Amino acid sequence: RDMRVSSFTDLIIQKLLRVKQIEDNQGKTLVSEGLDANYLDIINYSVFALIKFIEQAT
């Protein structure tokens, strides 16, 4: 609850860049989780940001 909406935005951008990198490598990763995990992370961060945004609005 201490994170700002902009922090969640930064995390989402990081995940999007990672998805792009994985796609550029035809889905091959050495250490990282695959595309599914990154997409789920993006969804989770989006929900967290929405909750934080609603809390700030009230």
Q: Where along the chain do its domains lie?
A: 5-57
In whole angstroms, give the CA distance from residue 49 to residue 17: 18
Q: Give the number of other Cβ atoms within 10 Å of residue 22's Cβ.
A: 17
User: What pLDDT, on the 0 to 100 scale, is given for residue 3?
Assistant: 83
- CA–CA distances in Å: residue 50 to residues 6, 21, 29, 33: 11, 26, 30, 25
- CA–CA distances in Å: residue 19 to residues 11, 28, 36, 47, 54: 12, 11, 9, 19, 28
What's the pLDDT tens digit per position in 22-55? Answer: 999 988 887 778 999 999 999 999 999 999 999 9
DSSP string across 42-53? HHHHHHHHHHHH
